[in-house]
Amino acid sequence: MTELLTASQMRALEQAAIASGEVTGLELMERAGQGVVEAIFEEWPAFAPAAGVDWGPAPKPPGYLKQEEKGPWRAVVLCGPGNNGGDGFVVARLLAGFGWAVDVFFYGDVERLPADARVNYERWSEVGSVHLWNDDAIEGRLDGFVSGDRSSFEHQLVVDALFGVGLTRNMPVDTERARHGFVPTVTHTPQSERPKYVAIDLPSGLCSDSGVNRGAFPTDLTVTFHRPKLGHYLFGDNHFGGGPSLCNQVSVIDIGLESSRADQPVLLMDSKNLAAKLSKNSCEHKFNHGSALVLSGGSGRTGAARLAARGALRIGAGLVTLGVPPAAQLEVAGHVTALMVKRVADADGLAEVLQDKRLNALCLGPGLGLERARALVPVALAAGRASVLDADALSTFADDPRTLFDMAHKRCVLTPHGGEFARLFPDLAEKLNAPAEKGPAYSKVDATREAAARAGCVVLFKGPDTVIADPSGRCSVHAAAYDRAAPWLATAGAGDVLAGFITGLLARGFAPMQAAETATWLHVECARSFGPGLIAEDLSEQLPHVFRELEV
Ligand SMILES: NC(=O)C1=CN([C@@H]2O[C@H](COP(=O)(O)OP(=O)(O)OC[C@H]3O[C@@H](n4cnc5c(N)ncnc54)[C@H](O)[C@@H]3O)[C@@H](O)[C@H]2O)[C@@H](O)CC1
Ligand SMILES: [K+]
């Protein structure tokens, strides 16, 4: 799985590489700038020089390639006061070297530029000028650039090098005019005729650690270095305006730090090694694949538990039993075939059913009802089996979450969505939703890690970005974004199926963290594989196809 870094982890890796003498900060900045230019040429081949890109051993002087006959491409580079701005000066110089006409605007104070950025400011200044950053200057340039009705542009590319991982507060308002002017996001101009907007490291205004949007505009391409940052994958406090919706696509450039590993990295889930973990041995008996019990609510509300049970069965649990109250027995029996049905009237009934030691995974929550959940959860947790607690099994402890945490053990997985999370961990939800004053914002990763430590078990915090953590701080992220986008997954009952998938994998002997991660990946994959028109029932039925594709 790929590591997702925070700003401070990235800084630590960079400093360690510089301290070891293997590279200088200036070299890293040059590689970063080159990587950005290469990524731009790769994304829009029309921009690439006909002769191809050959960086050679050292930065080339400007003008070493003849301007192409079609006339110079025009770029605007917006440089900020830190090293992100330094990367911008490198990009400006390299583009000019390829014959581009480049306009650089600098937001900051030259005297306060960090050393490497200052060097690249000077290098650029030998090539071209730096425009003042004020509304008049920007307006003046815009008049030259953009036709009166703002519907056509003379520049084809805008490079955003204002702020990267060093962003510590909301975007300054005096950067807005320039960004709106050069990057017209609200315009009648078709996308294809607008200048391409490329962010260096992060769209300026996107918090690297949390995905919170502190004033960023959506980009066409974001080019980052060494590893993606958490903010590229977390949606922040606004599901529609955060991380992935701002980056559009993320290109990760190798700047020569590859041997380094961050301390306690957050991992981005992928399908690596999944097939081997999921395959079954042909000579094993059904009980070798575990036996799951899914507790259902009463008559008229058994659908959610049935969805979960079906998911547990499809994902490979050897045997799945629905535990239903007497009044719902007939209703459930009419619906299920491969599932077993057992009567579980109350807490005593559950204790009796749990005498069967083969039952090794439990699922409580979907459609269970708050009262029934309150009665059954303590018995289930006291039995010490691997357990998934979802929906009502979480909400029933809204008044005294501590009681739940005291009973939970390390083979439990709690699967709250945003609302349930806020009921169990109101203080963490408050921190998560509070506007960040200084530094990187408190993130969903921070909140999930704290929640897992407090609950003493795995917490899977659902959403378009799902974060999973265990009490030791191990943490992974799955964002249904970029090539994993699954918009049809936002459908009633999808969460019940996820609870069932996790339960099925727990029954199969997966460790809680691994069960939660694997189920999350498969859940999104089923939605993607089914595509438009998906309803919750389809998710489990899509698993066989997904397994075949994975070569399970
Ligand atoms: N860490 C690394 O390994 C590398 C970093 N590089 C670049 O360096 C960047 C990080 O540089 P810095 O740490 O200098 O940080 P930034 O350049 O992102 O910004 C820091 C500066 O912006 C100011 N600032 C932050 N938020 C502000 C706000 N809202 N309004 C006004 N001013 C604000 C700070 O006071 C500081 O002066 C990365 O994003 C990347 O682009 C690259 O050169 C390659 C290597
Ligand atoms: K930027």
Which protein residue has the closest C-alpha to ligand 1 atom 15?
Answer: 166
Report the alpha-carbon distance of residue 133 to residue 150 in Å, rounded. Answer: 21
The pick from 6, 106, 168 for probing ligand 1's pocket by mutation, whose C-beta has the most ligand atoms within 8 angstroms, reads: 168
What's the pLDDT score for residue 285? 76
Among 205, 127, 119, smallest CA distance to 162 is for 205
Query: 192: part of which helix (H) or strand (E)?
Result: none
Report the alpha-carbon distance of residue 124 to residue 422 in Å, rounded. Answer: 50
Return the minimum-mean-pLDDT range out of 13-17, 112-116, 257-261, 453-457: 257-261
What's the pLDDT score for residue 141? 72
Among 250, 254, 159, smallest CA distance to 199 is for 159
Beta carbons of 489 and 497 less than 8 angstroms apart: no
Report the alpha-carbon distance of residue 242 to residue 215 in Å, rounded. Answer: 10
Residue 66 has pLDDT above 70, yes or no: no
Report the alpha-carbon distance of residue 503 to residue 360 in Å, rounded. Answer: 9
Phi, psi (5° rounding) for residue 9? -65, -40
Categorize the per-residue pLDDT at 193 as very low, low, confident or very high, splitting at 50, 70 and 90.
confident
Cβ-based neighbours of 193, under 8 Å, separated by 6 or more: 152, 153
Which protein residue has the closest C-alpha to ligand 1 atom 39?
Answer: 164
The identity of residue 490, as a single letter, is A
For residue range 313-362, list pLDDT tens digits in order: 999 999 999 999 999 998 898 888 889 999 999 999 999 999 999 999 99
- Percent of the chain having pLDDT more than 70? 92
For residue range 464-500, list pLDDT tens digits in order: 999 999 999 999 999 999 999 999 999 999 999 999 9
229 Rama sector, left if φ>0, alpha if ψ -120 to 50, beta otherwise = beta
Classified as helix, coil or strand, 506 is helix
What's the pLDDT score for residue 56? 62
- Percent of the chain having pLDDT more than 90? 78
Q: Is the ipTM of this complex over 0.85?
A: yes
Which protein residue has the closest C-alpha to ligand 1 atom 17?
Answer: 82
Length of the chain: 552
For residue range 83-110, list pLDDT tens digits in order: 999 999 999 999 999 999 999 999 999 9
For residue range 367-411, list pLDDT tens digits in order: 999 999 999 999 999 999 999 999 999 999 999 999 999 999 999
The HSE-up count of residue 95 (CA atoms within 13 Å, CB side) is 29
- Domains, the chain, ranges and CATH? 2-47+72-168+183-268 (3.40.50.10260), 289-432+440-550 (3.40.1190.20)
**Residue 483 labeled ligand binder:** no
CA distances in angstroms from 18 to 121, 257, 453, listed in the order given: 21, 10, 35
Q: Which residues pair with 252 in a beta bridge?
A: 224
What's the pLDDT score for residue 37? 97
Which protein residue has the closest C-alpha to ligand 1 atom 13?
Answer: 166
Better pLDDT: 378 or 146: 378
Classified as helix, coil or strand, 179 is helix
Checking DSSP bridges between strand 2-4 and strand 130-131, what pairing results, if any?
unpaired
Residues flanking ligand 1, CB < 6 Å: 10-11, 14, 28-29, 32, 80-87, 114, 163-172, 200-201, 225, 255
Categorize the per-residue pLDDT at 435 as very low, low, confident or very high, splitting at 50, 70 and 90.
confident
Dihedral over Cα of 319, 324, 329, 334: its sign = negative
Among 81, 98, 82, 101, smallest CA distance to 36 is for 98
Classified as helix, coil or strand, 3 is strand
Report CA(264)–ligand 2 centroid distance (Å).
26
